[in-house]
Structure 1
Amino acid sequence: MPLSEHEQRMLEQMERALYAEDPKFATALEGSGLRTYTRRRVYQAVAGFLVGIALLMAGMVAQRVWIGVAGFLVMLACAVLAVTAWRKAPRPGVQRGPVGPGGLGRHPMGGRRRSMMDRIEQRWQRRRDEQGH
């Protein structure tokens, strides 16, 4: 169930207050759980990739094509998993977007690649805030 507008505003105010009081602590809390999860996922993918190599080699030694193909597919799947997890990983100490009057405005890609809708929404929010004050 999504938060109401009032609840979202209250949450944004609490986040801004936390950043204002102790930005170092707020940054540390920001993505630590996600970073740990992502790091664990990358490690699992690397281990799976190594298992895939072992299956590929076993298929070659045993002259069983299907084992080699299975090993290759495991390697491919683990490589894709590792790359996607690595790209989604939040960077430590980097705040994901400007803290402004409209809220934190964090973007999952670290603020580098924003979609057109995100930019339009941010401009709209800025105009609303400027007219309200």
Structure 2
Amino acid sequence: MTNRREVTVPLSEREQRLLEQMEEALSADDPKFASHMVADPARARARRRLALGAVLLVVGVATLVAGILIRVVPVGALGFAVMVGAAAYAVSPTGPGGPSLGSVQPDGGVQRLNRRRRRRSAGRGNGPQGGFMQRVEQRWERRRGGSGW
């Protein structure tokens, strides 16, 4: 087994231009494929969380089985707790702000809301269309007025 060192050589300006042209052509030809090829740190974090959660789940199952085999209830309970915690960790949102919320645009894209805007729009009538209760009241008034939806 040989031990190879990776050597990185910077691209020349011509090579960089060619690479950029190839990227633009790929994006124009198949934008969906091009978007999948871009490195997404959130996706990498999600994979790591899932892998760590799966490993911890296996450790929890092993601890639970060991607790059952040696007939020690606290060891089995610990294994169960590790299993539940591992599953919760694996499927929990990866970002620090929790799940990303957004709204679907007419063109099919998603406009994400940042945390500050979410908090502000969660208040009473601070959002662009008013609060939840105001929208419900407006709908009720439209129905009573006979104008329908």
**Band of TM-score, shorter chain:** 0.3 to 0.5
Larger Rg: 2
> Which is strand-richer, 1 or 2?
2
The answer to which structure has the higher helix fraction is 1
RCO comparison, higher one (Cα < 8 Å, 6+) = 1
TM-score of the pair, normalised by structure 2: 0.43
The normalised TM-score by structure 1 is 0.48
